[in-house]
Amino acid sequence: MSKYQVVPAEDADFPTLFALLSESFANRHPFIESFYPAHETPAGRAAGSARLLSFAKADPNAYFVKCTDDDGTILGFAKWNVWIDLPPSLSEKEVPWAAGVWDPKPWEGLDPADGELANWTLRHYLDPRLGARKASNGRLVSLDLMCVSPDHQRRGVGQLLMKWGCAQADKYGVEAVVEASDEGKGLYQKFAFQPLRHIQLKEPTGKWKGREGQQFYWMVRPVHGKGSVSPELTAASKETRDGAVADSGKGV
């Protein structure tokens, strides 16, 4: 029986990590589609793995960890943001798109329309997370991304990746957050994440009609996975901006 372990990802792993991302999300996730167009093609995967690695190198508070079996095969990975004693609001260097200004640099190589949509989606997709960072006074753990090979799902890989990040939150005594898909919600609930909202992104101008429909559960894990979500993060979870982040009506 294979023995799984979770260890830091290395630069050379990123083509494999991105292939796992492409395979696990397929074409079901509008956020991924706008971020990494044509990710199922060789050219799209090459560009996507380079972009994913550039994000890793640009953020010292992002931790990419991989789950491998005993022969070193990568079965899944996660990106956790560990924000401890940081400024409550992200700097312009961390989020050059936060002010809503179109900046093509992060999306170099994309069609301009795809890049602008990615910029808009990222800005609003992360609204609840950035609000939580502000409400927590810069002390928060965030699950940014988790992917498990379709061939190894429901075999404990995702649980090990979750244990790694929750251990970081428990180490520092902070809450943790995640934007969850329908598929991931159940796993996160096993680790005490509580769904507070089901959100639908809405692009009010109709410029990208039919491509902007990202939905997700906004979930928060209390300190040490016990009790209730703090009043600060509960209040922050209810905030909206520009009419783009709205409750879907699906409930939690």
Q: What is the mean pLDDT of the chain?
A: 84
pTM for the full predicted model:
0.87
What pairing do the DSSP bridges indicate for beta strands 74-83 and 140-148? Answer: antiparallel
Quote the pLDDT of residue 22: 93
Placement of tokens 């680790």 in the chain: 191
Residues 143-152, mean pLDDT to the nearest whole number: 92
pLDDT tens-digit map of 173-204: 999 999 998 889 999 999 999 999 988 877 66
Tell me the sheet residues that pair with 215. Answer: 200
Q: How far apart are CA 88 and CA 82, in angstroms?
A: 13
Q: How far apart are CA 18 and CA 11, in angstroms?
A: 12
Q: Which of 146, 142, 148, 147 is nearest to 218 (CA)?
A: 142
Q: Which of 17, 3, 1, 14 is nearest to 149 (CA)?
A: 17
Residues 137-141, mean pLDDT to the nearest whole number: 95
Where b means 16+ CB within 10 Å and e means fewer, 105-142 reads ebbeebeeebbbbbbbbbbbbbbbbbbbbbbbebbbbb
* pLDDT surpasses 50 at 66: yes
Beta strands in the chain (DSSP E): 5-8, 62-68, 74-83, 140-148, 176-180, 194-201, 215-221, 245-247
85 or 30: which leads in pLDDT = 85
Tell me the Cα Rg of the chain. Answer: 17
C-alpha distance from residue 227 to each of 155, 163, 180 (Å)? 29, 18, 20
Q: How far apart are CA 90 and CA 195, in angstroms?
A: 24
Residues 54-79, mean pLDDT to the nearest whole number: 93
Q: Which of 147-151, 188-192, 203-207 is most confident?
A: 188-192
What domains sit in the chain, N to C, each tagged with a CATH number? 5-247 (3.40.630.30)
As given in the structure block, the two tokens for residue 184 are 């991931």
Q: What whole-number percentage of the chain has pLDDT above 70?
A: 80
pLDDT tens-digit map of 6-54: 999 999 999 999 999 999 888 777 778 777 878 889 988 998 899 899 8
